[in-house]
Amino acid sequence: MSCSADLRQNIEDLALRLVMGGTESATAPADWISAIEAIRAKAADEQAAVLTATAEAALEQVRGASFQNDEGRRAVLPEIITRLQQALEGETEPPRSADLALGQDPELLADFALESREHLAAIEAQVLILERDPGNKEALHAAFRGFHTIKGLAGFLELWEVQRLAHEVETVLDRARNGELALGAAAIDVILLSADNLRRWLSHVEAGLRGENSPPPIQDQALLDRIQSLNGAPPETKPAAGLATLACQVEVADRGADGGPAAAPPSTPRRETMAVKVDTTKLDFLVDMAGEMVIAESLVRHDRELAGLKTPQLQRKLAQLTRITAELQRTAMSLRLVPIGPLFGRMARLVRDLSRQFGKRVGLETSGNEIELDRTIVEELADPLMHMVRNSLDHGIETPQERERQGKPAVAHVYLKAHHQSGQVVVEVADDGRGLDREKIRAKAIERGLISEDRILSDNETYNLIFEPGFSTAQKVSNVSGRGVGMDVVRRHVEKLRGRIEIRSSRGDGSSFFLKLPLTLAIIDGLVVGVGVERYIVPLFTVREMFRPRADTIWTVQNRVEMALVRGTLLPVLRLYRKFRVSPKSEDPLESILIVAEVEGQRFCLLVDELIGKQEVVIKSLGETFNTVTGVSGGAILGDGRVGLILDLDRLFKERNSESDY
Amino acid sequence: MPPTMLSAKEATPAQADGRAGKYLTFQLANEEFGIRVLKVREIMGLQEITAVPQTPAHIKGVINLRGKVVPVIDLRLKFGIPAAEYTQRTCIIVTQVQAESGAVLMGIVVDGVSEVVNLTGSEIEDTPDFGEQIAGRYLLGMAKVKGKVKILLDIDKVLSTQEIHHLGSLA
């Protein structure tokens, strides 16, 4: 932001006074101090940060006791004025990020960031293979090529810091290729850390593209030194191996001998498939339209006027149309699907780092890498998976010594598996560690007041307690997990994906978490209900049962809260017409329908006029306009062309006792 | 109350140029308004609007526009003009406005649509300040065409999300 002309004038006045010999006068220092102070105040007013800071520094300097006399003070005045002027210049130009070179095509930069991230992911996978199998030439070449490409692209885009770092690492790998350098544990570490560093630079570039003013990553001189020492080091350098790293190497031999199944990251050579890059908005739109086409086609097929005209020929044509529409929709949906393998692959790095950090020996095994899920689901799964893997390594898996004492193999395993099961995808996160301690969980829950002492819980109910917010049985809070945040967040993520988590565990043998997820997010199986003339959609996966209440079903407590007696349990009742302020067909429960729904393990009842039917609908966001609306999570086009509002049962349950504002 | 031309300022040539162009004019109460044709995506007759709970009165709800769910605002209520019965002439103009997240479609309910006029810079003048009945910041200017005055709206500002929620009633 540019500074006012006044400010500029003030500084120039000061300069002028100097030129005109103002320093000779005895009162001069006091004069300048007040002049600089005035400049500082003005700069602060105008929020000219750099100038303010410069003026402050100047004031300190002039007032400083280090000057013996006024002579010294006068001598620095010219320099101070120069600095102030420079600062002023700096303020009038927009801050230029030195590494986001001006005039660079933002599209090129965005592409570069995207591509480089892909390269880095591949590099990481290859480097991890190299760590286990130092002789693997293919992985070495692939890693080298990755850094080489990034270096070239960065140079073209004048991202000098990135280019420099990539070049250093590329040199290390090149020397390894030529047999001049052996890649020991230290080298692998350095390469992986460099990849992390490069990722930070990419984030910085991306932030700049979004218009954010993020500080560039500090060029880690220590890291560069380490890289350079590798380059300068004579061949066959023995790595300074700590016990953990040695163990890591030994582990490699073990696994190799086992001849186990393909472990993560998938080491199959990348299939060269013809692919195109598509803008995700276009993709989403296509999927949307395909979904709507199914509905439009259905409307035509069931049109009453058409019914009378249906000759066999017309029937055949309509049947053909239906077939094609269904196929089109299936294909469109499949465009959004991506394999889960790469996500599992990312966990490999996490397992490696954490196992060293905790001094445990852990191997990762994956299966079902080729299983495909909607890409948004895969993205959403990243955090929960990381939490669970962390928990596993931190709490679930024992130290090698403890394992041996129990007669278990010293090397523990974490399993990431995916498979299809009756229209769902099941993602399993398992380990062969300690398993969940029922007693400990129960004790903690009682201590936290989550359950009463005399409450009897099944194994499953006990395990599910770990999903309660604020729950954690970790004895000490490590910086990774144990804050009691992990599992609560995991469950929320999974429920956001309209999935469920099931736990199976056995003391001493290990635990398994099963994440059961729908195949796609965009479409939901909905129960269409009517309240008055309005139509609402209840997500079917939340519905437990529905029935028409009898006279003795509904009770009013304290003249305010209504409860329903369902199979011996009292559940809260939410009258939708009251919550949404619409006029129902009838306010009498005996003429209405009660729908029992469940969110986050809690059940409650919705009172509606009627059940219209079941329908698969494409979820449409309502847009920013309705950001403040609670109770409705989106809209969908119903079979008759009207818009139905999809209910947000989570919010409805949480706000069941409050009145809305409008 | 027709706006009277008080001391209308001289529009600077640069300003008027920017505002010149084609406008779609429509009626609200007894006033004629105009919005830039570039912002208009579609004009449709009144159709069934699905009400959304917990929204201020001027947000009528959403409609199905060939598979897209589009919010609809009643401009009368938005401007604090008393609501009127919807007639056969009542239309929904689907506009494309700039929101924080990008371009979005929004529908506005108007009493009736008139015509498209091509305004030159000289026909557009700055709005005089005539109180808060319609907030000045919504207005691009005023145009005098064939003896009638049309109020030119900056539809992006009218339909910006903050406005939608912090409005309450402007009247």
pLDDT per position as a tens digit, A346-403: 899 889 989 888 899 999 999 999 888 888 888 888 888 998 998 899 888 999 999 9
Mean pLDDT check: name the lowest of A554-563, A652-661, B119-128. Answer: A652-661
pLDDT of residue A18: 60
**Strand, coil or helix: what is A531?**
strand
Report the gap between the CA of B120 and the closest CA in chain A (Å).
Answer: 34
Under an 8 A CB cutoff, do B54 and A631 touch? yes
- In degrees, to the nearest 5, what angle opens at C-alpha A515 toward C-alphas A509 and A517? 160
Measured between alpha carbons, how far is B41 from B154 in angstroms, rounded to an integer?
A: 16
Q: Per residue in A46-99, pLDDT tens?
A: 767 777 777 777 777 777 644 455 666 666 777 777 777 777 766 554 444 444
Q: What are the strands of the beta sheet with A424-431, ordered from one edge?
A: A362-367, A412-421, A424-431, A510-518, A500-506
- Give A203's pLDDT tier (boundaries 50, 70, 90): confident
pLDDT of residue B34: 93
Q: Name the percent of chain B in helix, strand, coil, to the closest 5.
A: 20, 45, 40
pLDDT of residue B54: 87
HSE value, Cβ hemisphere, 13 Å, CA-based, for A607? 29
Write a three-state SS string for A37-72: HHHHHHHHHCCCHHHHHHHHHHHHHHHCCCCCCHHH
> Is residue A281 within 8 angstroms of chain B, CB to CB?
no
- Is the pLDDT assigned to residue A276 strictly greater than 70? yes
**Strand, coil or helix: what is A647?**
strand
When scoring A534, A574, A625 by the number of chain B Cβ atoms within 10 A, the one with the most, hence best to mutate, is A625
What DSSP element (H or E) covers A539? strand A534-539
Higher pLDDT, A187 or A248: A187
Under an 8 A CB cutoff, do A292 and B62 touch? no
Strands A643-647 vs B102-110: parallel, antiparallel or unpaired: unpaired
| Closest Cα in chain B to A581 | B53
**Strand, coil or helix: what is A520?**
coil
| Range with top average pLDDT, A11-20, A44-53, A266-275 | A44-53
| Closest Cα in chain B to A635 | B69
- Give B95's pLDDT tier (boundaries 50, 70, 90): very high
pLDDT of residue B167: 39
Measured between alpha carbons, how far is A527 from A600 in angstroms, rounded to an integer?
A: 19
Which two tokens mark A203? Answer: 């984030």
Residues facing A571 on adjacent strands: A564
Measured between alpha carbons, how far is B47 from B13 in angstroms, rounded to an integer?
A: 42
Which two tokens mark B74? Answer: 């009643």
Question: What is the gyration radius of the CA atoms in chain A, in angstroms?
Answer: 33
When scoring B65, B68, B74 by the number of chain A Cβ atoms within 10 A, the one with the most, hence best to mutate, is B68
- Give A415's pLDDT tier (boundaries 50, 70, 90): very high
- Residue in A623, A632, A641 closest to B71 by CB: A623
Q: Are A174 and A180 in contact (CB under 8 A)?
A: no
State the amino acid at position B24 in one-letter form.
Answer: L
- Restricting to A residues 540-579, those with a Cβ less than 8 Å away from any Cβ of B are 579
Beta strands in B120-170 (DSSP E): 124-125, 139-145, 148-153
pLDDT of residue A123: 92
- Is the pLDDT assigned to residue A538 strictly greater than 90? yes
HSE value, Cβ hemisphere, 13 Å, CA-based, for A540? 13
pLDDT of residue A178: 85
Instruction: Report which of A504, A506, A507, A517 is spatially closest to residue A460, judged by C-alpha positions.
Output: A504
What is the ipTM score, two decimals?
0.75
Q: Are B117 and B34 in contact (CB under 8 A)?
A: yes
Measured between alpha carbons, how far is A426 from A168 in angstroms, rounded to an integer?
A: 43
Measured between alpha carbons, how far is A41 from A595 in angstroms, rounded to an integer?
A: 66
Mean pLDDT of chain A: 78
Q: Are A614 and A526 in contact (CB under 8 A)?
A: yes
- Is the pLDDT assigned to residue A512 strictly greater than 90? yes
Mean pLDDT check: name the lowest of A168-177, A244-253, A622-631. Answer: A244-253
Please state the pTM of the whole predicted model.
Answer: 0.54
What are the chain B neighbours of A641 within 8 Å (beta carbons)?
A: 64
- Restricting to A residues 157-176, those with a Cβ less than 8 Å away from any Cβ of B are none
Measured between alpha carbons, how far is B55 from A628 in angstroms, rounded to an integer?
A: 8
The set of residues, in sequence order, having a beta carbon less than 8 Å from that of B9 and lying 6+ positions away, is B125, B126, B128
pLDDT more than 90, % of chain B: 27
> Is residue A533 within 8 angstroms of chain B, CB to CB?
no
**For range A117-141, the mean pLDDT:** 89
CA quadruple B6, B11, B16, B20: dihedral sign = positive
Measured between alpha carbons, how far is A352 from A131 in angstroms, rounded to an integer?
A: 10
- Give A103's pLDDT tier (boundaries 50, 70, 90): very low
Write a three-state SS string for A350-408: HHHHHHHHHCCCEEEEEECCCCEEEHHHHHHHHHHHHHHHHHHHHHHCCCHHHHHHCCC
- Is the pLDDT assigned to residue A240 strictly greater than 70? no
Q: What are the strands of the beta sheet with B59-65, ordered from one edge?
A: B40-45, B91-99, B102-110, B68-74, B59-65
pLDDT more than 70, % of chain A: 80
What are the chain A neighbours of B67 within 8 Å (beta carbons)?
A: 288-289, 291-292, 296, 637
What are the chain B neighbours of A579 within 8 Å (beta carbons)?
A: 53
pLDDT of residue A219: 67
Under an 8 A CB cutoff, do B69 and A637 touch? yes
Q: Are A548 and A588 in contact (CB under 8 A)?
A: no
Which two tokens mark A24? Answer: 């000779």
Mean pLDDT check: name the lowest of A216-230, A335-349, A599-613. Answer: A216-230
Q: Are A144 and A170 in contact (CB under 8 A)?
A: yes
Tell me phi and psi for residue A574, to 5 degrees.
-120, 115
- Residue in A621, A643, A660 closest to B54 by CB: A660
List, in sequence order, the alpha helices (H) in A393-546.
400-405, 438-447, 459-464, 486-496
Under an 8 A CB cutoff, do A626 and B50 touch? no
Under an 8 A CB cutoff, do A662 and B55 touch? yes
Higher pLDDT, A121 or A602: A121
Under an 8 A CB cutoff, do B56 and A629 touch? no
HSE value, Cβ hemisphere, 13 Å, CA-based, for A438? 13
- Give A532's pLDDT tier (boundaries 50, 70, 90): very high
Write the burial class of residue B163 (CB in 10 Å: 0-12 exposed, 13-18 middle, 19+ buried). Answer: middle
- Give B125's pLDDT tier (boundaries 50, 70, 90): confident
Under an 8 A CB cutoff, do A661 and B54 touch? yes
Residue A596 has a CB neighbour count (10 Å cut-off) of: 19
pLDDT of residue B79: 83
Q: Are A561 and A550 in contact (CB under 8 A)?
A: no
- Give A20's pLDDT tier (boundaries 50, 70, 90): low
**Phi/psi class of residue A596: alpha, beta or left (left: φ > 0; alpha: ψ in -120 to 50)?**
beta
> Is residue A580 within 8 angstroms of chain B, CB to CB?
yes
**For range A6-18, the mean pLDDT:** 70
Under an 8 A CB cutoff, do B68 and A627 touch? no
pLDDT of residue A222: 72
| Closest Cα in chain B to A286 | B67
**Cα A529–chain centre separation:** 35
When scoring A628, A643, A655 by the number of chain B Cβ atoms within 10 A, the one with the most, hence best to mutate, is A643
Under an 8 A CB cutoff, do B68 and A620 touch? yes
Q: Are B94 and B65 in contact (CB under 8 A)?
A: yes
Instruction: Report which of A121, A139, A140 is spatially closest to residue A195, judged by C-alpha positions.
Output: A121
- In degrees, to the nearest 5, what angle opens at C-alpha A405 toward C-alphas A399 and A407? 105
Q: Per residue in A433-472, pLDDT tens?
A: 999 888 888 888 888 877 788 878 888 788 888 887 767 6
Q: Give the Å distances, CA to CA, from B16 to A308, B10, B136.
A: 60, 10, 17
Q: Are A176 and A140 in contact (CB under 8 A)?
A: yes
> Is residue A630 within 8 angstroms of chain B, CB to CB?
yes
- A135-172 burial, b for 16+ CB within 10 Å, e for fewer? ebeebbebbbbbbbbbbebbeebebebbbebbbbbbbb
> Is residue A259 within 8 angstroms of chain B, CB to CB?
no
- In degrees, to the nearest 5, what angle opens at C-alpha A136 toward C-alphas A133 and A138? 145
Write a three-state SS string for A25-37: CCCHHHHHHHHHH
pLDDT of residue A480: 46
What are the chain A neighbours of B50 within 8 Å (beta carbons)?
A: 534-535, 635, 642-645
- Restricting to A residues 292-311, those with a Cβ less than 8 Å away from any Cβ of B are 292, 296
DSSP, res A236: S
| Closest Cα in chain A to B63 | A643
| Closest Cα in chain B to A659 | B54
- Give B7's pLDDT tier (boundaries 50, 70, 90): very low
What are the chain A neighbours of B100 within 8 Å (beta carbons)?
A: 624
pLDDT of residue B110: 93
State the first-to-last Cα distance of chain A, in angstroms, to the nearest integer: 43
**For range B81-97, the mean pLDDT:** 90
pLDDT of residue B126: 80
- Is the pLDDT assigned to residue A274 strictly greater than 50? yes
- Residue in A292, A621, A631 closest to B67 by CB: A292
DSSP letters, B110-128, are ESEEEEEEEE-GGGEEPPP
